[in-house]
Structure formats: structure tokens, C-alpha cells
Structure 1
Amino acid sequence: MEFRILGPVQIYDERSNVRIVPTGAKQRALLGALVVKAGQVVSADRLVDELWGEHPPANAANALQAHVARLRRLLPVSAPGSGEAHHEWLVTRPLGYVLRLGRSRTDAERFRLLTAEGSALAATDPARSADVLREALALWRGPALEGSEHGTICSAEASLLEEGRLVTLETLFEVCLRAGRFGEITGELEELTIRHPLRERFYELLMTALYRSGRQAEALGVYDRARRRLVYDLGLEPGPVLRGRMEAILHHHDPDAVREARSAAEPAADAGRSPWGSGPGLDVLDAVDAGGLPGADAGEAGVRLLREEIVRLRRHVERLSREQRELVSRFDRLTTARAAGL
């Protein structure tokens, strides 16, 4: 048996491959709250509040008992592998009710275990870590406790689970970058920046993936889009981490990529190749930015083109800075006008 809350609330019976789905919002809310608090006594008063909020029926205690009785009829007769002729899932206690899982589990528990396993592999085996984290994320069938998240128990748990999902996504894309899977994650990250436009970490990961795929101009464009969205919605500039990533990309300096490339112990023949794709290595880019070039093989034409690119990108950043100052000035004028009642 698996009690599932990573999506609409349901029970999955592995023996018969049957999904048990409660009918009605109150039944879903009741099962969801009991699964969240599995193994703990949940008071009748708290369950009444979970199901009806500030508008309970006149006979709330009897109404709750009726919903509990219907839920009991949904649950299987015995727990798989329990060795018992009968397993009482939903038990009445003097102060309320408790859902006993026995040897069964929840999909949220599986998600946390897989996430922990994948995170532990991140440093030593990023490719395997990514596979495990994707397995964890595949457990999600929709928003956590979908259709049951109106009460305080389910809404609080849904928020925690959603934050855990987003953090797991961030960890997944971090290890994908370590594993050199730059191109395959840009589409997913692009979609996440649209769904979560105020979460700076997704912008940073997308910028890094684009840059390491040899798409520097697009990476800087992502920063521009993030900055405009943050200023417009929050009146805030990007944080130091996102700004630092932009500056690193602008100056062709990605210490994380250098460290990962070295730890991968690539063949000596590839030592002069940039970890972001084709083109000059980091030593060439850094030397050009400083006004020199180690060795004489690069050629004056290549040096000139690289210098022109650096100048163009710096002008782009200067233009962005001017736009930023104009936006801040405009915001200040609007704030002053509103305060004056204009």
C-alpha cells in the first residue's frame, strides 16, 4: 500500500494495481490531513477546522464521524505483508483519530529518501545523482495535495513539499552541469524561469548552462530579463549571486567549470579546449581580457576578434546599467507621486 499526496490524494494498492481515490473535497481533505499526520493523533476539533474552516456545520462532530466512516470503507481489509488477518488503518482515540501506516509508506517519504540519496551522490557521481533525482521528481503527479490544500494542515504541508521539489530541481540541474549535460537542460530551465520568475537560482543555472554551451549572448540576455522582472515586480535589483554570475560570464571567467574540468581528468589533447564548447580555452580568454596572450599560435586576427567581443559585451552591460538607473529613477518618481496623491 502506498498513500500518495504528491498530486491529488489517493491510495495505491500494489497487490491489485488499484488506485483508490476519495470522492468529494471533504473526503480528500480528511485523508490528506491524516496522511500528513500519519502515526499521530489528530484531534477532532482540528479535523473539523481542516474540513470546514470558519464555517463548520451545526452538527460538526457527527458530520466528521460520518466522513471517517466513509473513509474507513475505502481502505483495504489488511495491510500487505503485515502478517495480520486484519489491519485497522484508521483508529479512534479519546482525543481524535490516527492513521496507522504499518509497513506501508507514502510517496512523500519515498521522494525525501531518493532526494537525500541523489544529493549524497552529487560530489562523487553527478551523472548517477541526476538519475536518482529525476526518479524522485517523477513521483510527482501534480501540485502536492491537489484539491485538499484548503485547511491549515494540508496547505502547510503542500508548501513545504513544493519548496522541497524546487530545491531538488535546483540540485538536479547543478549536478547536470557537473556532469557536462549543458545542452539538455536549457529547455527545462527556460520553462522554470517562466513558471517561477522571481526565483533567481533558476536564472543563474540557465545562464551557466547557456554559457557552457557556447551561448554567451543568450546567457547575458537571461540576466537582462531577470533584472527587468525583479525590478518591475519587486522594485529590487538581482542579488549578489546572480550579479556575480553575470560578471563572470561577461569576463569569460567560470571557476566552477575550471574546477570540474580538472577533476574530470580529461585527456591532455583536450586541455586547451573551453569547457563550454568549441572556442579558445580559459587561459586565452583571460589573457586577452588582460591585454596579452600566452604563446604566439593564436594569431593577431583571433586576438582582435576576441577583444572586439569583449568591448561589445562591456558596452552591453553599460547600456543595461543606464536602463537600470532610469528604471530606479522612474520608480522613485512614481512612488513620490503616489505619496503626494497625484
Structure 2
Amino acid sequence: MLGLLAIADRREAAVLQPSKPTSLLAVLLTRPNVIVPVESLQRAIWGEDIPATAKASLHSCVLRLRRLFAKYGISGSTIEALPGGYRMAADARTLDLLEFRELLVRADHAADQEEELSLLRAGLELWQLPVLGNVHSDVLHREEVPRLAEEWLRTAERVYDIELALGRCREVLSELWPLARSHPAHERFWEQLIEALHRTGRRADALAEYRRVRDHLREELGVEPGTALRNLELAVLRGELPTVQAVRPPARTAKTAARRTTNPGANPATNSGANPGANPAPTDGAPLDAAPLDAAALDTTSAAGALAGCAQGDVVLAGLVGAGLLRECPDGHYHVHELLRAFILAAEGSWARAPEEPNPARPDAGADPTPSVRQSAASLLTSEV
């Protein structure tokens, strides 16, 4: 049912023609293994103008569906008549919607992001939009189809969040271009497209895409872009987003809470309020704000930890070495990449401000760092081959 409603096996699919039995089957499949009240079934089939003969006609539709199942070899009591309504028995082997949701559960418990990504993409492959395009039911398309579409949207968001976190910005651009344009009011896809463009060095294209979605929102809806999209534009203008080479995948514990709910479709907007350019330093699984700056742990080989201020120095140091920003030398010193050198110089310049002068680049504007931090930054600049 994740496309045109059809009965299929491994060899072929029989797409059902628009009819009242087809509408009845669609409603039952949107709520598998649940008793659907007779009143709900009648509304889905006839709309608000339910005829006096609706109860008898509904029973006739059920009989026609059972004969259709028999024709295609579907055995067992698939449609059950129960007090108050009907129930459609299904599982992940017989209904693609349940197979999709099962893949989401497995992805949520995957061992790593590569496995999670593989399972999520397998789930998306089950969809052939538009959903239930051959079902002529205004009630169904108004009340049930948007809920199903939301499950697809949140899964697609998560797929591209992982791809970007893994640094595959160029690889996903060909998918994000049409995705954003086919969902012009869905800002998260535009955020991902703009981020991917900027991180691959296409800053002008990233800003052009921001102007495109901004103009659409203004002209079609009369609203401004959301906070996350506006903050992303500022990050692009300031060059604050990390490059593809410097990005490290986020910890598995940072997964969106939405897919931990019973209904995958109830996923709140994935990272819609977060800063898409944020690239937290790797931790041991604890929340990023749970490790305060430990000045005693910052020595002359760990100035990066002082600059980050959100993880222990040895962890950040290892991250910088892994990202190629530092290279360890045999004598215990480090060769500093020019990009990191420029950052440290800029940071030292901000520390040199008067205490009462605010620094917009730091959340604790006006606060002077500890002497150990300044000494660590200075020693790092001198630790060359």
C-alpha cells in the first residue's frame, strides 16, 4: 500500500481499480490488526453523505474483497468481522507498511550508522509515491495519507542526516536537489541541501537555494523561513560550517528521539530547531554538555580541548589528529595545520578584547579565559616540526 494499492507476489502485482471495495481495503490496511469501527469505514467509502443502505453495502464490499483474495490465493481469514467493526490481519510478510515499520525498529537498534543507513534506505525503497493514488476517498486522503507521508518524510530526513554526518555531501546532492524542489515547504530538506552545497565549496549555490526557498515561503505562504534555516544562512555567510574533510559522524546516542516512539510517523521534525552546521566533538556516549572544561587536563599538547570547551582535552586532541588538523611528531610535539593555526590566532585576538567588550563568537562573551588556556594556545602555535 506504499504506492498504488495492489496485491503482489515476487513475480507480479495486480493494481486494484478504484472502487468502494478498494477504499474499504485501504482503510483497513492503514490500521492493520486494529478493529476499525463501521462508522469510520462508511465515512471513508461514502464521505459525509452516508446512504441508508450503507450497512448492507459495506457487508457486500467485504464479501467482494474475500472473493478477490481467494482469486489470488490469499488464504486464511484476513478480514475479520468483529463486534462494532472489521479488522484486517497482517504482518511484515504480508503488508509493506508493517515491513517498513519493522525496518525502522531494526535501524533504531543498529550497531553502527552504516547498518542503520542501510536499513533505512531499504525501508524507503518500499515506497512508490504517491501513496494510495488509485483510492478515491477524500476522507482517507485527508486523514490517513498525510500521517503515512509523515513517516516517509522523517525517515528520509534521518537518511540524509546520516549521509551528511558521514561526510558524503557530494554523493547525496543528486538526491537532495529534486527532493527539496518536490517538497518546497519542507524546510529540513532545504537545510540539508544548503549544508551539502556549502560543505562541498559551493557557497554561492547554497545562498541561491536559500533565496529560492525564502521567496517561495514568502510568496506562497506569507511567512519567513524558520529559525534553523535563517541560522544556516548566517553560518554560510560567515563560513562557519565545517568542511567535508573535517566532519566526524555524531555519536550513536545522539539519534533523534522521534524514531523511539511506537509510531515512526509521529517523529517530530528532525533537527528542525538545531544548528545544521554543528559538529560536536566525539565523546564516550555522554551528553556533549556533560563534560565541563577541565583546565588541569589541558597541557601544551592539548590546546584544542581548551578551545572546544565541551570535551576533555585528550579526546579533542585525538579528534584533531584524526581529522588531519594536527600531526604528531617523534619528539612529542605537533605540526599544526594552517586552518587550525588561523583559528587559534583568531581566538587569541578575541581573548585580547577588554573584559567589558562582548565577543559574538563566544557564548560566554566578555569572560576572559584562564591563563592555562592562553598558554596552551600559545604553546600549540610553537609546536611545529
Seq. identity, %: 32
Of stretches 164-173 and 146-155 in structure 1, the one that deviates more from structure 2 is 146-155
How many residues align structurally?
273
- Relative to structure 2, which stretch is displaced further, 91-100 or 192-201? 91-100
Q: 1:78 to 1:210 in 2, by over 3 A?
A: closer
Residue 29 of structure 2 is aligned to residue 44 of structure 1: no
Q: 2:130 aligns with which of 120, 135, 143?
A: 143
Identify the residue that residue 102 of structure 2 maps to in structure 1. 113
Partner in structure 2 of residue 260 of structure 1: 248
Is the alpha carbon distance of 1:110 and 1:268 closer, same or farther for their aligned partners in structure 2, counting shifts above 3 Å? closer
Aligned counterparts of 1:125 and 1:103: Cα–Cα separation in 2:
24
TM-score, normalised by the number of residues in structure 1:
0.68
User: Could you say what secondary structure the match of 2:144 adopts?
Assistant: helix
Contact 2:198 2:206 (8 Å CA) reproduced? yes
- How far apart are 1:18 and its partner, in Å? 4.9
Determine the C-alpha separation between the residues in 1 that align with 2:320 and 2:348: 29
Alignment of 1:140-219 (within 5 A): 140-148=127-135, 150-153=137-140, 155-219=142-206
* 1:239–1:40 CA distance, 2 compared to 1 (3 A): closer
In structure 1, the residue matched to 2:238 is: 251
Q: Which letter maps to 2:6?
A: Q
Query: Does the 8 Å contact 2:218/2:224 carry over to 1?
Result: yes
Map of 2:298 onto structure 1: none
Q: Which AA in structure 1 matches 2:68?
A: L
Give the CA deviation at 1:119.
Answer: 4.6
Q: What are the superposed Cα offsets for residues 49-106 of structure 1, whole Å, 9 maximum, x if unpaired?
A: 21111334452222222221110001148998xxxxx621222234332222378542
For 1:206-285, what aligned pairs fall within 5 Å after superposition? 206-254=193-241, 258=246, 260=248, 263=282, 270-271=324-325, 282-283=339-340
Separation in 2 of the partners of 1:102 and 1:283? 54
Superposition RMSD in Å = 3.3
Letter of the 2:35 counterpart: V
Q: Aligned-pair distance for 1:212? A: 1.3
Q: Supply the distance in 1 between the matched residues of 2:124 and 2:212 (Cα, whole angstroms).
A: 27
Unmatched 5+ residue regions in structure 2? 250-280, 283-317, 328-336, 350-385
Any conservation in 2 of the 1:192–1:202 contact (CA below 8 Å)?
Answer: yes
The two structures have a TM-score, normalised by structure 2, of 0.61
Closer, same or farther: CA 75–266 of 1 in aligned 2, 3 Å: farther
Q: Where in structure 2 are the equivalents of 1:280-299 lying within 5 Å?
A: 282-283=339-340, 286=343
**Structure 1 alignment gaps of length 5 or more:** 81-85, 274-279, 293-342
Larger helix percent? 1
Give the aligned partner of residue 22 of structure 2: 28
Shift of 1:178: 1.3
